[in-house]
């Protein structure tokens, strides 16, 4: 408890720095000048997109082709330049969006200067500034407390200790901690890069492309490809220079033609582009993605835990009724409520509603002698007064089922009001000191304060979306379970009719997880219990998202797979959340989920196309080495096929809508499809090539053989594209047919035939090539169906 003369009249306060003192500190560079970084710098973006392992490989091969010619065999080099430029442009676009959103979502502490408090940006704080603290505020720089009024600070983000620490004037505070209860002010002693906040903010707000299963999986695949390429390329080089010893230029071209398609050069680019476009799309909805993998993570979520206040309901409340108990005087009770409002300089939403209904001016002659700030662990607050007649009184305001003994007759009335979805607080008198742990066990109930919460207009539609997408919503609140259940029932949440009081939850993780799986609404949940509930759900294999806006949500937000904070929430919640809804719109969440599913699902699709090419390229190289024959394709042929069957379609498929929930084991699932597809494509193309070699001879025979093999390979790759594009929509069907039409144009237009060295001769070999492709397509469909059945069984 904090003693002071009169909580209704502000005590003498330190004025803080003067404007002249601030100016002198700015001149000396004593400013909290840590930049807000929400993305990589421009130079980092350029380096990351240009200087890659595969750009170096492709660039080297391109230089080789420039030496031996002709230029059409070096088309793959221009494709790489275009891809890199697109990647840089999209990430710069995402950077601009994120930087602007980060400024909007930046914490703005209240700083006292010249005796007046005002919000300023964290980068404007100077050494010696006096920074005020309220419940939910984050300590943004290191300092020493000048004022403390029942100040409790949570330092769990620094020490791992969940229990809040009571602070007094003179105590040190470190950035990264946050206020749980009470208020105060501290003097900044370390700013800029000297403060611990410099490290914390840099990590918390960084826009990163790492620690994502998707990107890690692609990196693993690329590592495998690199290891496969080295021996295969060496064997291919020796083979081609052996069989083409009379024409070294042709040997070089066909060697490059064999090595180039092994590189899935567009896969990393397409992943970056898909994520970047996702960030831009969400940015337009005022959604700040503080960590890029959050888009991917929310797509994998199957349980979303919602805090009622600020998520299902709006922050504001209204007092609808005051019900007197045991014959208490209503006028005196109104004065008590006014004095309670006057005693707390940092009211929460419930007390603010009371202040609006009972103006503090009506209790000007009440002298405060002590306060007990509200704590979500206690579920009540308190204040002590000397009343105008000289009487000393101590009052508690909080949850009726916490302050009243079980079976009290007033609880029946509370339950009835809770059933209607109303929130009820009990005003009671106690004879014990406010800071006595037993103060709530011997109270005299005075009145029930009935509050009505404002439902968010978009909450019902959002809950319905989650139900349709097989995402289970769990409402976890510190309020009365019955009241929370009534609110959730109004919004149509399945299972809301059977709310659970968290005070009766089993302590064991396994037993708690069982209850959580069966229930949907949980009330009277303490902050530590929220954290335990997230852990219990995760122990069952669930991917858990947690939404919230208050200090009591911070621990759970930090432990959840994905933390989502409202923009109007406390600075502490915004600091630990991966996603911040800047416009406080709960209805934005479905768009975030949908964006994540679109990115993950579509990248999984297009990765199959890229890796199918890698598999058949390695297989063809091995077959050529074994048979000791010229490689069947020139670089221009594979550039054409890659563009028509992978590059262009993959771009459209990667940006298409996709509602399928993301599943784990990305690499295994992609390779399960790409490996048989690549083997079948490689074998059918090689079979056509051997048949054509048997049929054609003499001058121009190699070009005719290559053309036949190219026809088969194109038909097989289109078949893979047609499978990947399922389920069909009109634009997907049009996309596949457009690619087929593009290849036909190359075959029939004379100058394109010459440019790509493609000319089908006679009828027997071309139709045989089509027949071999048809047989390969049947085998491909059988293999694909078999893999899908296994995949479905594994998922079940």
DSSP secondary structure of 436-457: -TTGGGSEEEEEEEEEEEEEPT
Local mean pLDDT, 10-residue blocks, the chain (796 residues): 39 78 89 64 79 76 78 73 76 72 69 89 88 85 87 71 78 83 88 64 41 73 79 80 70 77 76 78 82 74 83 79 88 91 81 88 86 80 89 90 86 86 88 82 89 83 87 87 86 88 87 91 86 92 85 80 80 77 82 83 86 90 87 86 90 81 78 92 95 83 89 96 91 95 93 88 91 95 89 67
* Four-point Cα dihedral 520, 573, 149, 12, nearest 10: -140
Say what the pLDDT of residue 516 is: 92
Whether 214-281+593-795 shares its CATH topology with 313-455 is answered no
Residue 156's Cβ-count burial label (10 Å; 0-12, 13-18, 19+) is buried
List the structure tokens of 699. 């001058």
For residue 428, CA distances in Å to 340, 394, 398, 433, 768 come to 12, 9, 9, 14, 92
Residue closest to 334 by CA, chosen among 357, 316, 314: 357
Residue closest to 603 by CA, chosen among 557, 660, 535: 660
Residue closest to 280 by CA, chosen among 490, 101, 146, 449: 101
Q: Which residues contact 267 (CB under 8 A, 6 or more apart)?
A: 218, 221, 222, 606, 607, 610, 611
**Which pTM was predicted?**
0.67
Helix (H, G, I), strand (E, B) or coil at 383: strand
Q: Are 367 and 5 in contact (CB under 8 A)?
A: yes
CATH architecture of 313-455: 3-Layer(aba) Sandwich (3.40)
For residue 342, CA distances in Å to 265, 363, 564 come to 66, 8, 33
Say what the pLDDT of residue 1 is: 38
List the structure tokens of 484. 């929370």
User: Is the CA virtual torsion 741, 743, 747, 750 positive or negative?
Assistant: positive
Say what the pLDDT of residue 159 is: 60
User: What distance in Å separates the CA atoms of residue 594 and residue 28, rounded to the nearest whole number?
Assistant: 49
Q: Are 614 and 259 in contact (CB under 8 A)?
A: no
431 labelled catalytic: no
What are the boundaries of each domain within the chain?
A: 214-281+593-795, 286-312+456-584, 313-455
CATH architecture of 286-312+456-584: 3-Layer(aba) Sandwich (3.40)
User: Within a 10 A sphere around the Cβ of 529, how many other Cβ atoms?
Assistant: 22
73, 307, 532, 561: which is the annotated catalytic residue? 307
- Fold classification of 214-281+593-795 (topology level): Calcium-transporting ATPase, transmembrane domain (1.20.1110)
Kindly calculate the radius of gyration of the chain based on its CA atoms and give it in whole angstroms.
34
């Amino acid at each position: 408890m904090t003693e002071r003369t009169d909580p209704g009249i502000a005590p003498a306060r330190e004025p803080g720095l003067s404007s002249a003192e601030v100016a002198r500190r700015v001149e000396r560079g004593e400013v909290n000048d840590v930049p807000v970084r929400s993305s990589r710098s421009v130079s980092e973006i350029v380096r990351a997109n240009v200087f890659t392992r595969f750009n170096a490989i492709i660039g080297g091969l391109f230089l080789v082709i420039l030496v031996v010619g002709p230029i059409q065999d070096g088309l793959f080099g221009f494709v790489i330049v275009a891809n890199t430029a697109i990647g840089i442009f999209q990430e710069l676009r995402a950077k601009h969006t994120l930087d602007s959103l980060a400024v909007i979502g930046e914490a703005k502490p209240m700083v006292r200067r010249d005796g007046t408090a005002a919000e300023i940006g964290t980068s404007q704080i100077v050494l010696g500034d006096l920074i005020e603290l309220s419940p939910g505020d984050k300590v943004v720089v290191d300092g020493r407390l000048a004022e403390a009024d029942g100040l409790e600070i949570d330092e769990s983000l620094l020490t791992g200790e969940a229990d809040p620490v009571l602070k007094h004037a003179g105590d040190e505070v470190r950035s990264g901690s946050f206020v749980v209860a009470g208020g105060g002010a501290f003097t900044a002693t370390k700013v800029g890069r000297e403060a611990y906040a410099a490290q914390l903010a840099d990590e918390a707000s960084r826009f990163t492309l790492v620690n994502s299963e998707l990107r890690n999986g692609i990196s693993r695949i690329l590592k495998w490809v690199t290891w496969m390429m080295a021996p295969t390329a060496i064997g291919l080089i020796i083979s081609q220079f052996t069989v083409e010893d009379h024409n070294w230029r042709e040997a070089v071209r066909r060697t490059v033609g064999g090595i180039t398609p092994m590189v899935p050069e567009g896969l990393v680019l397409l992943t970056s582009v898909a994520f970047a476009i996702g960030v831009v799309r969400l940015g337009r909805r005022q959604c700040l993605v503080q960590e890029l993998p959050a888009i991917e993570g929310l797509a994998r979520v199957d349980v979303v835990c919602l805090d009622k206040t600020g998520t299902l309901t709006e922050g504001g409340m209204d007092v609808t009724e005051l019900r007197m108990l045991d014959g208490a005087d209503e006028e005196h009770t109104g004065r008590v409520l006014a004095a309670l409002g006057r005693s707390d300089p940092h009211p929460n939403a419930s007390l603010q509603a009371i202040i609006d209904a009972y103006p503090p001016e009506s209790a000007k002659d009440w002298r405060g002698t002590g306060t007990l700030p509200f704590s979500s662990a206690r579920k009540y607050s308190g204040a002590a007064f000397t009343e105008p007649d000289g009487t000393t009184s101590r009052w508690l305001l909080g949850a009726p089922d916490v302050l009243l003994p079980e079976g009290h007759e007033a609880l029946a009335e509370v339950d009835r009001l809770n059933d209607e979805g109303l929130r009820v607080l009990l005003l009671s008198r106690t004879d014990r000191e406010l800071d006595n742990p037993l103060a709530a066990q011997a109270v005299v109930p005075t009145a029930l304060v009935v509050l009505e919460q404002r439902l968010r207009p978009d909450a019902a539609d959002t809950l319905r979306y989650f139900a349709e997408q097989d995402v289970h919503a769990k409402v976890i609140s510190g309020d009365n379970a019955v009241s929370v259940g009534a609110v959730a029932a109004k919004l149509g949440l399945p299972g809301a009719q059977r709310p659970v009081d968290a005070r009766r939850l089993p302590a064991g993780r396994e037993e708690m997880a069982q209850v959580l799986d069966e229930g949907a609404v949980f009330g009277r949940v303490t902050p530590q219990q929220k954290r335990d509930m997230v852990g219990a759900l995760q122990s069952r294999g669930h991917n858990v998202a947690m939404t919230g806006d208050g200090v009591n949500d911070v621990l759970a937000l930090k432990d959840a797979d994905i933390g989502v904070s409202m923009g109007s929430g406390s600075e502490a919640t915004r600091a630990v959340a991966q996603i911040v809804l800047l416009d406080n719109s709960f209805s934005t969440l479905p768009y975030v989920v949908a964006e994540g599913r679109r990115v993950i699902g579509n990248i999984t699709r297009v990765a199959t196309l890229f890796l199918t090419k890698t598999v058949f390229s390695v297989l063809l190289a091995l077959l050529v080495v074994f048979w000791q024959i010229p490689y069947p394709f020139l670089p221009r042929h594979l550039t054409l096929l890659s563009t028509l069957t992978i590059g262009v379609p993959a771009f459209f498929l990667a940006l298409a809508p996709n509602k399928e929930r993301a599943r784990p084991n990305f690499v295994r699932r992609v390779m399960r499809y790409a490996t048989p597809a690549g083997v079948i494509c490689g074998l059918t193309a090689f079979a056509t090539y051997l048949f054509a070699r048997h049929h054609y001879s003499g001058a121009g025979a190699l070009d005719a053989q290559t053309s036949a093999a190219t026809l088969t390979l194109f038909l097989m790759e289109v078949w893979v594209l047609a499978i990947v594009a399922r389920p069909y929509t009109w634009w997907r069907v049009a996309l596949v047919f457009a690619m087929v039409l593009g290849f036909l144009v190359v075959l029939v237009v004379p100058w394109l035939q010459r440019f790509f060295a493609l000319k089908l001769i006679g009828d027997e070999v071309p139709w045989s090539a089509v027949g071999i492709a048809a047989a390969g397509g049947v085998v491909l469909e059988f293999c694909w169906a078999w893999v899908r059945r296994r995949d479905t069984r594994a998922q079940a």
